[in-house]
Amino acid sequence: MSKVAASTSTPVTAPNETCANCNVYRAANLKKLGVSLTQTDFVVALAGNPNTGKSTVFNALTGLRQHTGNWPGKTVARAEGAFEYDAKRYKIVDLPGTYSLLSTSLDEEIARDFILFGQPDVTVIVADASRLERNLNLVLQVLEITDRAVLCLNLMDEAKRHGLAVDERQLARDLGVPVIPAAARSGQGLPELLQAIADVATGKAVCRPYRLANEPPALKNAINELVAKLKTAHPDLPNARWVALRLLGGDERMAEALRQGELGRLERPASVAAEAVLAK
Amino acid sequence: MSEAVANPNPQADAILQAAQRLRRELSGDLHEQVVETIYADAARIADRAVTRPGVKVQPTFDRALDRILTSRIWGFPIMFALFALMFWLTIAGANLPSGWIANLLVDKLWPVLREGMNAIGSPWWLTGFLVDGVYLATAWVISVMLPPMAIFFPMFTLLEDFGYLPRVAFNLDRLFKKSGAHGKQAMTTMMGFGCNAAGVVSTRIIDSPRERLIAIITNNFALCNGRWPTQILVASLFLGSLVPVRLAGLISAGAVVGVALLGVFFTFAVSWGLSRTVLKGEVSSFSLELPPYRPPRFWQTLYTSLIDRTLFVLWRAVVFAAPAGAVIWLSANLKIGDLSLAQYLINGMNPVGLLLGLNGVILLAYIVAIPANEIIVPTILMLTVLVTGSAEMGQGAGVMFELDSAASTKALLQAGGWTVLTAVNLMLFSLLHNPCSTTIYTIYKETGSVKWTTLATLLPLVLGFLVTFLVATVWRLFS
């Protein structure tokens, strides 16, 4: 009995290196856990513009059947599911689709609060490859908040249909995070995505996310001054620049978080924070 | 320690003061500067990654289709035609399977269950309560609701998957703006056509609290799943029969579309009224993205719409129908003096009901069915059997009868004093009455306010009383 349990919990070792990199092998290592959310090792957030296929990716990884629909704004609450990959259990949270994290509508707040205060181990940003520029606006904002992200360049098939070619290597170099081209509706790219999620979660891949640098000088100085102050108060705050920007903008929620010491808690290990947010 | 209480977080306050000072020193719109920075960087990075190799592009299909589907001239007619076609297919297609299911569950299984209960020596009241109350109500709901839903939902989901819904929103956007509401309300209204509780939750996409409240309060005017069967059944029994047989389906479908459109009209009218009275304010602008058309994944859509929508809604109906069946059976069998409890209530409400062109049975049914609109028709039929006392049709007090033929259903309702006016007003009242309890609870959760929840609950009910009263009065003047 115990033998069986032990053998399922250890990862299946690949016969050789070629196998380890093969899609068939990697996909076979995925176990869809549906809604059994107990004892997960990592928390993954799914962010992205509306109607880019977040829920499709979510369903493909968890085996759940969140209703998907071809229109923006379908997911307005968080959906949670789980999967197991390489003997690690992941909780995955499908966030509402948003164009930005700067405004005050409830869906944007849900997404932003989770990425910021929930501190997921990995944030997967699902982007529409055929509308890359507009999608990058959100990507850049997410990268300001977290430095553990994977960009899933979804709808590659549609981009191709529109005669677009996207150079994912160039993009990965510029953004400083793994970029995985995919067509989630037909399952393309999902094995690679899983591997990238695992790499970032376990620290095998280290991200050096692109940070905005071209603000007007006056704004930049103000941000730097505030960042210095924030760093003295919370030396380990991972996204002081972004918090400074929000405080400058008079974001009441952020000011409240600072007063209540919620920002201080961002210095804790990630999974603990995510559990705390999810429990709310 | 005492200092900490007086000033809980001096460090944070210092930072916040610095932020305030720096904000004052900055010139120009900070938000705009930040957004511009992001856009500039995004454009630069995208430019480096995206290329257009000389392939001749074919966006012409999407464009051409959009030009027709969202055109000022053709947009609306196509929309109506599409929805009318869906209702017609639903009405025409659901009749036969409904009869089969009723035949199986009511004609065949029900007597077997009764005899089985009698054979094991169950007392009459237990057999009545379980078999005539709980079981029959459930069987009724399944045979009335399953076929139309199994036809309608997959079609609707296919349209959704194809990408048509945002085009509908686009068409309606201008009207919403004119009525002082948010353009995104078009999306939440569409959602409400499936389920009002889901529609209310979906208003989270609207950022202005004022416009969100308007969207929440008016969502109930989108005819939901639970009400489609009532509309379809009443329209085909009473309105379809006014014309020759070959036109019957068309007329019934037209009537249902008409009621749905009336709901859309009320959405605009009430939004307009609210935005000029209790919810005054500016209309905020937004951009609506028209996603590309995608070939719907046929089998998967079929599967998910059957599992997620059809069975989900059916299950909800069954869960509420079983206890409602029990309640109706009890109220029909609990006697106070000569009359049963149900009869007392019906007699009490009859004068008001008749004034509205309805009757006491319908009003009582709407009280019993507050948890779920789905069980309106079965409830009405059970109560009608009770008041008409047509024992040969029914099987005794509070027992639902065989409903395999539409003709006998109609005959029963006519025995209960139903006219075309009753049918028309029932369709109107089904559109205009309080939301179901699930929706009311959702509204409370989303607004966090008893005041707005009460308004959202009572406003449609008051409108329903007004409209049915007006229609009844005008009707009686001219006939």
Which residue in chain B is spatially nearest to A186 when comparing CA positions?
A: B297
Contact B204 A130 (CB under 8 A): no
Per-residue tokens: B55: 């392939």
pLDDT at B84: 80
A262 touches B at CB < 8 Å: no
Q: Is A123 helix (H, G, I), strand (E, B) or coil?
A: strand
> What mean pLDDT do residues A87-100 have?
86
- Radius of gyration, CA atoms only, chain B: 27
- Write down the pLDDT at residue A6: 35
pLDDT of B338 above 70 = yes
Say whether A216 and B33 touch across the interface (CB within 8 A).
Answer: yes
pLDDT classification of A243: cutoffs 50, 70, 90: confident
The answer to whether the beta carbons of residues B371 and B435 sit under 8 Å apart is no
E strands, chain A, in order = 30-34, 42-48, 79-85, 88-94, 122-128, 149-154, 165-166, 179-181
The residue ranking higher by pLDDT, B325 or A18, is B325
Q: Distance (Å) from the C-alpha of residue B191 to the closest C-alpha of chain A?
A: 9
Q: Classify B205 as helix, strand or coil.
A: helix
CA torsion sign, B337 to B339 to B341 to B346? negative
In sequence order, which ranges of B334-431 are alpha helices (DSSP H)?
Answer: 341-355, 360-368, 376-388, 406-415, 420-431
pLDDT tens sequence across A165-178: 898 988 998 999 99
The values of phi and psi at residue A53, to 5°, are 105, 25
User: Would you call A34 an interface residue with chain B, using a CB distance cutoff of 8 Å?
Assistant: no
pLDDT confidence band for A277 (50 / 70 / 90)? low
pLDDT of residue A275: 58
Tell me the chain B residues in contact with residue A105 when contact means C-beta distances shorter than 8 Å. Answer: 204-207
Count residue pairs from A and B with Cβ separation < 8 A: 193
The pLDDT of residue A11 is above 50: no
pLDDT at A12 over 50: no
- CB within 8 Å: B161 and A132: no
| pLDDT grade for B207, boundaries at 50, 70 and 90 | confident
The answer to whether the CB of A82 falls within 8 A of the CB of A245 is no
pLDDT one-digit tens code per residue, B31-46: 788 888 888 888 888 8
Mean pLDDT across the stretch B386-390?
A: 68
Residue A258 contacts B, CB cutoff 8 Å = yes
| Residue ranges covered by each domain of chain A | 22-202, 217-279
Q: Do B50 and A165 lie within an 8 Å CB cutoff?
A: yes
Whole-angstrom distance, CA of residue B407 vs CA of residue B393: 12
Q: Above 80 in pLDDT, residue A255?
A: yes
For every residue of B218-273, DSSP letters joined together read: HGGGSPPGGGHHHHHHHIIIIIGGGS-HHHHHHHHHHHHHHHHHHHHHHHHHHHHH
CA separation for the pair A258, A262 (Å, rounded) = 6
Q: For residue B396, is pLDDT > 80?
A: no
Q: Evaluate if residue B475 carries a pLDDT over 50.
A: yes
| pLDDT above 70: residue A264 | no
* Beta carbons of A94 and A78 less than 8 angstroms apart: yes
pLDDT over threshold 80, residue B266 = yes
Q: Is the pLDDT of residue A78 over 70?
A: no
Number of Cβ atoms within 10 Å of the Cβ of B84: 17
Stronger pLDDT, B352 or B147, i.e. the higher one: B352
Tell me: pLDDT of A31 over 80.
Answer: no
Is A225 in Cβ contact with B18 (below 8 Å)?
A: yes
Of the candidate ranges B68-82, B154-168, B263-277, the one whose mean pLDDT is the lowest: B154-168
pTM for this prediction: 0.62
What pLDDT score was predicted for residue B150? 81
* Least confident piece of the model among B75-79, B94-98, B120-124, B391-395: B391-395
Q: For the ranges A34-48, A61-75, A119-133, B68-82, which has the lowest average pLDDT? A: A61-75
- Chain B CB contacts of A225 under 8 Å are 18, 22
Tokens for B327, please give them. Answer: 């309640």
pLDDT band at A127 (very low <50, low <70, confident <90, very high): very high
CATH number of A22-202: 3.40.50.300
Indicate if ipTM > 0.95: no
- Does the pLDDT at position A229 exceed 80? yes
* B7: DSSP letter: S
CA distance A136 to B245: 59
Report which residue type is found at A206.
Answer: V
Q: How confident is the model at residue A69 (pLDDT cuts 50, 70, 90)?
A: low
Residue B33: HSE in the Cβ half-sphere, 13 Å Cα cutoff: 20
High-pLDDT (> 70) share of chain B, %: 89
Nearest to B205 among A73, A170, A171 (CB): A73
Residues of chain B with Cβ-Cβ distance to A233 below 8 Å are 11-12, 15
Are A200 and A146 spatial neighbours (Cβ–Cβ below 8 Å)? no
